[in-house]
Structure 1
């Protein structure tokens, strides 16, 4: 058995971005295959298309939250309130673990500063960036909150 955090880490080490790695680890929950899920999540990497805003791991986490608790009736006020409450709670847990949910801040970048992409995924890369622990934390938070089963 493999936890969703293990699967997210595995996907990240294969070269998927943070959002793809987290959402891909829950593709079955979303009713998608892996190819569909990573394509769907692809533009959210590097803080929304390399804008270094909301961390891609958090974006992946919120996509899963939407799959689990999302609403489809725009008049459903209670559903929206509950969804936003859960989203804020889980992102708050992520922030408590990682210190931020903003990609730029997590990478220690000043506004407008950036890193070369796509970076080669070496041991130095994994040691110098919080991305691997971020995808693990995001997947762990969602899996624990919803009681989603491990992967066989």
Structure 2
């Protein structure tokens, strides 16, 4: 088993390093799971935070979907079996995250717009938990596939 994401590491990435939720999850995928270069992971996922800066799909969710794409790659044309595997893993992630938090949408999770300064205190409480949960769900899905 690889290293688990911790609340301390989430805070280090989100608070100390001022990275986004998508970057937090992808940093875990890169550094702890060894799925790709961390710098490239941070670059690739930077624009996904805060629902692509518009409150759409939560950045932690988007980062998790990217991580699952790395763990269960579908990169060969017409490889329908691998595509089906990836679809099943992403679907399972969506189910588990939604069961835990009620939505995959940033503005719904936060109760308002990512761009609204009044939401910042809510983000400081909720977003670290979304990141931690996204990482843990990804870890569980990967671990379960090894059994």
Q: TM-score range by the shorter chain?
A: 0.7 to 0.9
CA pair 125-95 structure 1, distance change in 2 beyond 3 A: closer
Q: Indicate whether 1:97 and 2:93 are aligned.
A: no
Q: How does 1:36-47 map to 2 (within 5 A)?
A: 36-47=40-51
TM-score (norm 1): 0.79
Say if 2:110 and 2:123, in contact at 8 Å, map to a contact too. Answer: no
Say if 2:97 and 2:134, in contact at 8 Å, map to a contact too. Answer: yes
TM-score (norm 2): 0.82
Q: Distance in 2 between matches of 1:140 and 1:57?
A: 11
The CA RMSD measured in Å over matched residues stands at: 2.5
Q: CA deviation at 1:137?
A: 0.3
Say if 1:5 and 1:140, in contact at 8 Å, map to a contact too. Answer: no
Q: Indicate whether 1:115 and 2:111 are aligned.
A: no
Unmatched segments (≥5 aa) in structure 2: none
Q: Indicate whether 1:140 and 2:136 are aligned.
A: yes
**Structure whose residues are more often helix by fraction:** 2
Q: How does 1:42-53 map to 2 (within 5 A)?
A: 42-48=46-52, 50-53=53-56
Unmatched segments (≥5 aa) in structure 1: none
SS at match of 1:109: coil
Higher relative contact order (CA 8 A, sep 6+): 1
